[in-house]
Amino acid sequence: MFLKGLSKMKAPELPRGLTWLNSDPKTMKRLQGKVVLIDFWTFSCVNCIRTLPHLVEWQEKYAEHGLEIIGVHTPEFAFEKDEKSVKHAMKKFGVNYANVLDPDYKIWRLYANRWWPRKFLVDHKGSIVYDHVGEGGYAETEHAIQKALHAIGVEDLPAIEPDMSSGGGICYRTTPETYLGFLRGRFGNAVNMMPKGEQVYTDDEEEHDDDMVYLHGHWELHGEFLAHTRKVASLNEYILLRYSAFSVNLVMRSRDKKPARVYVELDGQPLPEDMAGEDVKYEKGKAYVQVDEPRMYRLVDSDAYHKGVLKLKTATDNIEMYAFTFGGCKNM
């Protein structure tokens, strides 16, 4: 999405005093004469993660021609403020360009941003000439980069590969992004929930509504996450969601940094191996995810669009769950 109203607006200056990674501190004033691509992202955002390979590629193709890429890491969740975790994510995803940490949303507010990911392209005069929200539009964005580089006299730029992200696939309606804190969560049976206090929930529903989360057992609701806070002897405590999608992701972390297991069932059975996401493991016929770092975990990755009941069970007292995201498209 390109918001034309921002075209030719002067790019706000980057505040001083922030932490920079892969680079010394930069300012828009010193970068005048170059083309600058600013990318707002955060490391647990699946849409952001899917755009990173394109940014890495553009850094390799255009840095020598005058393109400067600046990632602005603005955390959605509190745990994403941790500098060590950001560095780990950058290494994992091969991020090879400058990044500035924006834990207090200073740059976010200066650019009046509301989305992850979002890209602003700034020309050599310091004006915003292109703006894109979300995934996709990679060829369009690269054409804008080349146009801005041509304006400073750069010729013989690399060829632009066809954008395969917007064609040749099939898309269906999916369950919307589903948060698990009391501020934005959609719960089917947490009627008398007590924020920041453990409660025992009972899932006695015969029918579960689509796209709603149901709790069973000892759970504690916080503003932005759901926590299982008590060790139990058996796997009888769970969260349940009736979803529609090809793939399912969940942002999780261990609150004491010790590994925590979450068992995954689909439609009353252990998650089938041919539908398992890359983070799912198997032991004695049971599917589980080992939560050993704060990040997004891929639970389900199916070749077929599926409407089903996802149940996540745990017996630990150290697991936090933040948000589900869903994939509704598959390339043909």
Contact yes or no for 124/33 (Cβ under 8 A):
yes
Q: Give the span between the Cα atoms of 264 and 44, in whole angstroms.
A: 20
3-class secondary-structure state, position 138: helix
pLDDT higher for 199 or 311? 311
| The residue type at 34 | K
- pLDDT, position 162: 75
Mean pLDDT, rounded, for 15-41 = 97
**Going by C-beta distance under 8 Å and a sequence separation of 6 or more, which residues neighbour residue 156?**
none
| DSSP codes joined into one string, 240-294 | EEEEEEEEEEEEEEETTSS-EEEEEEETTEEPPGGGB-TTEEEETTEEEEEE-SS
Alpha helix ranges (H) inside the chain: 28-31, 46-62, 83-92, 106-110, 138-150
Percent of the chain with pLDDT over 90: 84
Determine the Cα–Cα distance for residues 140 and 42; give it in Å rounded to an integer.
23
Q: Which CATH class is domain 178-331?
A: mainly beta
User: Does residue 3 register a pLDDT over 60?
Assistant: no
Q: What is the mean pLDDT of residues 1-19?
A: 78
Mean pLDDT of the chain: 93
For the cut 60, the answer to whether the pLDDT of residue 2 exceeds it is no
- Domain map (residue ranges) of the chain: 4-166, 178-331
4-166: what CATH class? alpha beta
Which pLDDT belongs to residue 141?
96
Residues 6+ apart with CB under 8 A from 223: 181, 182, 183, 195
Distance CA 228, CA 235 (A): 12
Q: Which amino acid is present at 140? A: E
* Residue that has been written with the tokens 């360009």 in this structure: 97
In the numeric block, the tokens 């990044």 are attached to: 99
Asked if omega into 117 is within 30° of 0 (cis), the reply is yes
| d(C-alpha 44, C-alpha 47), whole Å | 9
Q: CA 80 to CA 73: how far, in whole Å?
A: 9
Residue showing tokens 């890495």? 56
Position 1 scores a pLDDT of 44
Helix %, strand %, coil % of the chain (to 5) = 20, 40, 40
Q: In this predicted model, what pLDDT tens digit does every residue of 162-180 receive, in sequence order?
A: 765 555 567 899 999 999 9
For residues 40-59, give the mean pLDDT. Answer: 97
